[in-house]
Each structure stands twice: as C-alpha cells, then as structure tokens.
Structure 1
Amino acid sequence: MEKYYRKAALFGILMSILWVLLVNTQPFSDFAYYDGLARQIAAGGPWGDTYTSVGYPVVLGLVYRIFGSSLAAAKIFNLTLTFVNYVLFYKILKKADLSEKRRKFTYGLFVVFPSNIFYNSILAGEILFTAILLLITFLYFYDVKHKYILIGVLTAAGAMVKPFFLGFFLLVFIVELCFKMKFSAVLKHSIIVFIISAVAISPWLYRNTRLLGQFTFISNNGGIVLYVNNNSQNRYGLWMDARNVRNSVVKKTEYINANATDKNKMLSRAARK
C-alpha cells in the first residue's frame, strides 16, 4: 500500500476510534436485539427465533465467546472490520480502470464517508455486510481459482446478514452482460453462484422450517418492516407503531395466535392494501 493510502487508512481508523471513544452509544431496539442474541449464542443458547436475520449476531456471538460479552469487544471488532474494508477497497481500486488521481480521490472519499465512521460505534450488521460485499468484489476482479463457487458461498453468508442479498446472482448476470462476455459464460457463472448460494443457505432454511412446521425463509421481519412504513395511515413512509394503525392487524386474534411465519405473511398482505 503506497504512502497516500496508508496515511488515508490511518486517518480513517483514528477518526473511527475517536468517534467510538467520544460517542458512547448504547444498544436499543434492533441493536439491543442483536446484542442480546449474540450473548445468548456465545453462552451456547439457540440462534434466534426466525424474527430477524442472524448473520451478524452469530459472528458477534463468536467474538463474545472468545473475548467476552462486552460492548468494547463488539466495537473493537467493528474497527477491525473497518480496517479490513480499507485494505479490500484499496485492492479493488488497483484493478479499476481509473487514473491515479481519481483512484486516490475515491479511496479518500470511502475512508471519510460518514457511515464508514459512525457505524463503528453501533452493533449492527452494516460493516460486516460491507466486508462480505467487498470480499466478493475482490474475488471477482482477481484471478482466483473457483471464484464463482467462493462467491456463491459468500453470497449465502451475505444473505444471512441481509436476506435480499440472495439475489446477487442477478447482479453477476447483468454485470457480465455489460462486460460483453459470451452469453453461455454469463449464464454459467450466474447459475453457479445461484446454486452454490442456495445450497449453502439451505441448512438454515431447513432449521427454520423445522422450527415452525412450515417453509420459512431466512427471517420473518420483512412483513413488520413493510407494514410500519407502508400501512394505509402512513403517508410519509416513516416508522410508526404498528399498534397505532387503525384496525391494525397486530391486534387481531388471528395474528396474535399465529406463528412467526404466518404473522409475517399477514403483515405483508396488509401493507399492500
């Protein structure tokens, strides 16, 4: 790594450390859920109840298991991932068809981008997800053996953090078409990524399905997220308490007695009305 990039990375890490030290964030809402689940996993407990994706809590649980269940350990882990992201982004830029001036500007912008600093103090999956995405991009642009198989495995890992990422094979298809590769090669690569990611994620889908007695995807929080932001009384798309919606589905007996998967389906249907 050349002098400019080393200095930029050092500056970014120092800014992130200062932010973590000066802004004493405490977990709440979803972040408190991740922290609690990670502590539960570290203690040998169950890996959640299908409410939300568990990729980040599982990794954080491993960190807690090794270094102790503390916010300090979680934030140091975030800082470590941030540094890894700096290195991966540098490697990716070296493969980009850019002038050195634009490459330096892009790297500097990435390092000081607010979310890349602020998220270091938050127990959330964004930094981990960014690391997975950058690692996939790194593998894609470098000559790595079995790269599409590895990308498929990492796609499944990313989907455990952000379930929508399971559709990454479509991005591979579109990008390679834009690169004007042979259609047969594009189709082959996309199918490999799709099949490997589907196989890699299948044990988790099987676990969820057995847990609830019916087919269940990676997580069941998509419905509530859609409902609180897109119900019939929400004019601005901002968060609102689902219980405050007129004739709210969450107050109905059918919903209260349903399992997590059925609740997710009810909320999704209600949000689309």
Structure 2
Amino acid sequence: MWNKGSFLSSKSVVVIVSSKRLLAAIVVFVCALLVRLLYILTVGLHYKPIFDAGIYDDIARNLLSKGCYCVHGYHSTVSRAPLWPWILALVYYVSDKQVLFAQLFYALLGGGTCLVIYFLAASLFTKITALITGLMAATYTGLFLYDGWLYSEALYTFCLTGFVYTLFRLQRFCLTRDLETARKRAVFSRIMALNRWSLCSGLLLAAAMLTRPNGVILLVVICAWAFILCVARILKRERRGILWQQVIIVCCIAVLLVVPWTYRNYRLTQQFVFVATGLGEVLTGVYNDNVLQPPQGFWSPPKGTKIHDEVSYTLADDKQSTSQALAWIASHPDKMPLLLARHFENMWQPYTYSHGLPMEEFPQRLSAKILFILIPLQTIPIFALAMLGCIITWRGYRKELLIVYLVILSTIGQNVIFYGDMRFRASIEPLLVLFAGVAVWRIGLMCINAGKLRREKRGLLLDQA
C-alpha cells in the first residue's frame, strides 16, 4: 500500500541514482579533458595549421581582419562549409588569434562527445557499462587524435554523435508514456516537452550540414529511420503520426538554418550551392587511373586538376570534374568492384597519413612516436570488440539502436563511394566505442561468472574430500 514513507524512500533512491550518474559523467569528462590536454601540450605543442586547417585558419583570420569570408585576399569563397571557420574566428577574437585556444576549444568539444556517448550508454545499459564506455571513449586515440588538429572532423563528430543521441531520445519518447504525460501540461510546457528533442536534433543536424557538405545525407538517414520504425511496427499506429511530425520539425529547423547561407552563396555565384562546392574535385581524385596504382584506392587527383579553393575555380569547373569522374567510371566497369573494395578496406586501416596532423608535423617528438605505436594497439581491438558488441546487442537492442546502425551504414557507404580513409571514419568512432564498451562488460561478466563457478566446484570437491 502506498504511504508517504515509501514515496520519500523511492524519491531518495532516484536522487542517489542520479547523483551517482552525475559523478560518473564528471569522471568521464575530466578524464577525457586531461587526455586531450596532455595530447595538445605534448604532441600538438606549437602546432601550425596547414593544408585544409590552414584554409580554415585563413578564413577565420580574414573574417576578423577584413570582414570577408575569403581564402585569398578579398575574394569571397563558397569552397568551404561555414560553421567551423566562424567558430574559429570567434575563438580567435577572444584569444588574440592564438591557435592553442582553438585546440583547447576542441579539447572541450571532444570531452563533450565522450559525455554524449556515456549518456547514450547509460540510457541503454547498466551504469558500469556506461562508465566503461565513457572511459574508453575518453582514452581512445581514434577520438582524441583530431582534437589537436584544426580540421572540421572533431566538430562534425560531436554534431553527429549528438544528433544520434537526440533521435534515440526522440524514439524512446514516442514509445513511452511520457508522450501522454506531456500532452496534459500547460501550453508552453507541453510544446517544449513534446518538441525538445526534435528542436535539439534540428539544431545539431543544421550544425552538421554547415560543418560538412555531406551532412545533407543525414536528411535521408532520418527519413529512412522514421520509415523503418513505422514499417517494422516498432511504434503503435497512433504514435506514428507524432513521429513523422517530429521528423518534419527536425528537417525544417535544419533546412531553415542552412537556407541563409545558401542564399548568400546564390548571391555570390548566381547559382544554387546548398553549402559548399568541391564534389567534382573529390570525385576526380577518386576515379582516375592514378588510384589503380599502389597504394590503391586513396585520393590521388590527375595532374592539372583544379583545386576548389582556388579563386579561379567555378561551378562550371565543378560540373566538368564531376562529368570527368563519371565518364571514367563508365569506361572502367571491370575496375570498379576492386576499387570499391579497396575503399572499404582502407577505411578500416588503423592509421592512414593525414596532412598536417600534429604527429605528422612533429614526428620526431617522443610523444608522437608513442602515439604511432599506440594507435594500432588500440584501434584493432576496438574494431573487434565493436563487431562483437553489435552481435551481442542485436537481439535485445536492435530497435533502440536503429539510428546508430543507420548512421554507421551511411558513413560506410559514403566511404565506399568516395574513398576510404581513417579521417572519414572519425565521425562514427564514438558509436564503435559504444558497442566495444558493451562487449568489454559482457566479457568481464563472463569471466566473473566463470571464476565463481570454479570456486564453487572447488568448494564442492573440498567438501567431498
């Protein structure tokens, strides 16, 4: 029977559980931050942005000094997605253009990615599994390697991981009684309760699209996710309309936030450029005779290929490069299966050369040499454990992990179509760690149970003796 004492005791249990979860989250974030600070202050000390990072650095500095989103002089560009250069400019504004502070911003963002994975694991599995997963994410080289490197990888990884988490929460919200509870609240409170996860998801989707042009593919992913939830009857009939309503809100928020940048691009070029150019250059570098030479499958543009960051690069050049790549594909159908297989294989290599990475910029440092050794020692076991974790969770959690599977598959598909590289695997590394954490906990549990069984058998033998 219900009484006040039982209510207070249950409430105190909730407080204790939530406080323990908060403490574990703090431990994960602090650990992640310390690892990234150690990486930046040893491997990445005195790092200078070059290659793509140098272009982002130039745009950010030009925004501050000239008020121009441009790479070369005063020539405005549509070659790069805008979010990371604008954030970089803001960091430079408050830090007197110090590169170290941009690295420290990425260290905080990387810690945030580890936190998101911890909360996702805590929502699905046990507290111990979540803590193991969070600590693995905090110390895994595949997650902190890009936090001292001023490319857009770390930002896109954070946005994608957050996007996955918000959709997971949105699916759970539609499945549980929270939906009916939210409908009974006051108007403003009801709107926020019903739409908070879709609002967050829309913001993160927009951020991902404004960080990388291929982020637009996530619009397809979220629609596929909602379609499967309905077709597979994971949601009840009366809740499917609510789900599609939320998906429409997510997509509308994302598109509406990107449209101003698209309009800016149209005014600049008089043509439609949703986020940025460069697809033609990417395809030309992927599909040509050079990529058939060892090492096969890596991006290697033919001589004379126009770079999309050049002032003279136009949308006509982009279309011509795309047509050239498609013509090569049509004329080499016998080479395509092997080439695509190479893309897939290259994607899963523990390490591939990345232009201007701090450990490549300062390879003579002891810390960099240690990192070169550590990467394969961590990466290969993580891949094996992630595969095992996928198998373990498939039966009991495949419905709740649907968005995770779709994001991983879409990223693999993009790597196969374009080109496989460790750098383009970065965005799904947190999701791989999620599965690896489950596998580690299950293996540990099996070992504990096996030890107990051996002790019990030993006790029986002693008793019989």
Deviates more, 1:178-187 or 1:234-243: 178-187
Normalized against structure 1, the TM-score is what?
0.84
Does residue 111 (structure 1) correspond to residue 141 (structure 2)? The answer is no
Name the residue aligned to 2:462. none
**What is the aligned partner in structure 2 of residue 237 from structure 1?**
297
Equivalent in 125, 128, 134 of residue 152 of structure 2: 125
- Counterpart contact for 1:221–1:264, Cα < 8 Å: yes
Q: In the alignment, which residue of structure 2 is the partner of 1:156? A: 206
Find 1:53's aligned residue among 54, 57, 81: 81
For residues 209-254 of structure 1, give each alpha carbon's deviation from its aligned partner in whole angstroms, at most 9, with x where no partner exists: 11012122211112112211222432122232432xxxx5649xxx
Q: Which residue of 2 aligns with 1:174?
A: 224
CA spacing shift, 1:51–1:3, aligned 2, 3 Å:
same
Q: Which blocks of at least 5 consecutive residues in structure 2 are unaligned? A: 1-20, 71-76, 174-191, 328-465
**In 1, distance between residues paired with 2:111 and 2:234?**
34
State whether residues 89 and 134 of structure 1, in contact with CA within 8 Å, keep that contact through their aligned partners in structure 2: yes
Map of 2:356 onto structure 1? none
One-letter amino acid matched to 2:201? I
Residue 266 of structure 1 is matched in structure 2 by 320
Retained in 2: the 8 A contact 1:223–1:268? yes
Contact kept, 8 Å, 2:28 with 2:114, in 1: the verdict is no
Distance 1:166 1:39 in 2: 27
Structure-2 residue corresponding to 1:36: 58
Question: Matched residues in 2 for 1:193 and 1:250: separation?
Answer: 36
- 1:91 Cα deviation from its structure 2 partner: 2.5
**CA distance in 2: counterparts of 1:239 and 1:135, whole angstroms:** 29
Output the amino acid matched with 1:29: F
Q: Structure 1 residue 64: deviation in Å? A: 0.8
Counterpart of 1:70?
A: 98
The CA deviation at 1:59 is: 0.8
Greater shift after overlay, 1-10 or 210-219? 1-10
Aligned to 2:244: 187
Report the AA paired with residue 43 of structure 1: S
| CA apart distance, 1:132 | 2.0
- State the match for 1:88 in structure 2: 116
**Partner SS, residue 290 of structure 2:** coil
Quick check: 1:204 aligned with 2:261? yes
Deviation track 1:62-105 (CA, whole Å, cap 9, x = no partner) reads 11112221211111111121222233333222222x13343233
Q: TM-score, normalised by structure 2?
A: 0.52
Amino acid at match of 2:101: A
Asked if the contact 2:33–2:108 (Cα under 8 Å) also holds between the matched residues in 1, the reply is no
The offset of 1:206, in angstroms, is 0.9
Give the stretch that moved more between structures: 261-270 or 132-141. Answer: 132-141
Identity over aligned pairs, percent: 20
Deviations 1:103-146 (A, max 9, x none): 23322222122132211210011222222233334444176642
Give 1 or 2 for the bigger CA radius of gyration: 2
What residue is the counterpart of 2:35 in the other structure?
15
2:8 matched to which residue of 1?
A: none
Give the superposed CA RMSD.
2.7
Matches of 1:18 and 1:58 in 2, distance apart?
26
Deviation at 1:155, TM superposition (A): 1.2
Change (3 A) 1:11 1:38: same
Q: Aligned with 1:242: secondary structure?
A: coil
Q: Distance in 2 between matches of 1:250 and 1:81?
A: 34
Deviation at 1:272, TM superposition (A): 1.6
Whole-angstrom distance in 2 between the partners of 1:268 and 1:172: 27
Give the whole-Å Cα distance in 1 for the aligned partners of 2:314 and 2:201. 31
Tell me how far 1:32 sits from its aligned partner: 0.7
The aligned length equals 264
- Contact 2:29/2:112 (CA < 8 Å) preserved in 1? no
Tell which deviates more after alignment, 208-217 or 230-239: 230-239
